[in-house]
Amino acid sequence: MVSLLQPYDLGPLRLPNRVVMAPMTRVRATRDGLAGPSTATYYAQRATAGLIVSEGAQPSRPGQSNPHTPGLHSDAAVEAWRPVTAAVHANGGRIFAQIMHGGRVGHPDTTGFVPVAPSAVRLPADVFTPAGPRPAPVPRALSRREVQGEAAVYAQAARRAIDAGFDGVELHGANGYLIQQFLSSNVNQRTDEYGGSLTGRIRFAVEAVEATATAIGAERVGLRLFPGGTIWDIVEDDPFGLYTELYRALAPLGLAYVHTLMNGDRELFDVLRKEWPGTYVVNPSAGIVGRPADQAAGQTWLTRGADLISYGRAYLANPDLVELFRTGLPLREADPELFYAGGDDGYITYSSHQY
């Protein structure tokens, strides 16, 4: 039986285990979107993961969603990330940068720009700003030429990520952000080639991935998806048909992986797993309230056909998560009040079980 603790070859990378640290927003960057010394410590503490996927980094200033998140759109950002990737590598780890464009999930008070989206459909919710939660504004619908430009932005950020020392990148196509806004039935109301049919709605995702693969090599590109996910008021009328179409369009590219959040719909998982010929990363935590996924949950999905298992919340208070799985020791619980509090408390203050 395949085990979480067994090694795995991910393209040119030899992973010592099948545990992936999932991307998690921690809002510890500077106001200008720069990673700091504590960021290097945070990821280096967790370098025993088979693979780390960083928190979402905005590929452009207009693409920023939350305040105090790091970017990948300037020379200064590249320089700020280099000590982070160096620290992970010095500790024997591997790290991909997640590239996250917020689309309509943003605010001018955060970025200085009106958010953009496939269509001018307002998010009926508050979003985070430097002054606290504010109602989301009506986004500006992208023109056809601008859509193509936004796809290219992911590739530009990917080049910077490789320059900063990352081993690869993951495009964030889940959780209601720009790529999933194009995939959606409610936010994407376009009537041109980027909307309407399933082929139209997947076009932006495919073009963004293709541009990124061309820029840095497909073997260094992953994509995170949430089939049927409803975060930030997303509706997908036909997730079976939509994601089957998307997987078939992406399969010939030879990507590093697809990273899928699962909400417990095993029938959907079985259908999509058969459609994806490459590495399949599963995050089993979607829909789990009150507790992070554990080793048993990960093992269940491995047995069902996943290749790698990503853990988010379990990594917050357990930087040595792989060792805890290896020894069978209990997991510590993170303080939710410190998830996004800023500062080092609840960020780099969780020690390993040995101390």
Q: pLDDT of 8-35, one tens digit each?
A: 999 999 999 999 999 999 999 999 999 9
Other C-beta atoms lying within 10 Å of the C-beta of residue 349: 11
> Residue 64's closest CA among 32, 28, 39?
32
Amino acid 293: pLDDT: 87
Task: Name the residue among 261, 258, 204 with its Cα closest to residue 228.
Answer: 261
Q: Which parts of the chain are beta strand (E)?
A: 8-10, 13-15, 19-21, 51-57, 95-99, 116-117, 126-127, 134-135, 140-141, 168-172, 221-225, 257-261, 280-283, 308-311
pTM of the entire predicted model = 0.96
What are the tens digits of pLDDT across the range 53-75? 999 999 999 999 999 999 999 99
Q: Is the pLDDT of residue 326 over 80?
A: yes
**Residue 287: pLDDT band with limits 50, 70, 90:** low
Q: What is the pLDDT of residue 347?
A: 96
8-338 fold: TIM Barrel (3.20.20)
Q: What is the pLDDT of residue 286?
A: 60
Mean pLDDT across the stretch 228-239?
A: 95
> What confidence tier does 353 reach under pLDDT thresholds 50, 70, 90?
low
Cα 204 to Cα 353: distance, rounded to the nearest angstrom: 44
C-alpha–C-alpha distance, residues 58 and 150, integer Å: 12
* pLDDT reading at 159 higher than 50: yes
- The predicted-structure confidence for 102-129, as pLDDT tens digits, reads as follows 999 999 999 999 999 999 999 999 999 9
pLDDT at 288 over 70: no
Backbone φ and ψ for 283, nearest 5 degrees, come out as: -105, 115
Write out the catalytic residue numbers: 177
pLDDT confidence of residue 214? 98
Q: Which two tokens stand for residue 137?
A: 């504004």
Tell me the torsion sign for CA atoms 41, 81, 253, 176: positive
pLDDT of residue 355: 46
For 298, the 3-state DSSP assignment is helix
Q: Is 345 helix (H, G, I), strand (E, B) or coil?
A: coil
pLDDT reading at 290 higher than 90: no
Please give the mean pLDDT across all residues of the chain: 95
Average pLDDT over residues 165-183: 98
Residue 175: per-residue pLDDT:
96
Q: What is the pLDDT of residue 33?
A: 95
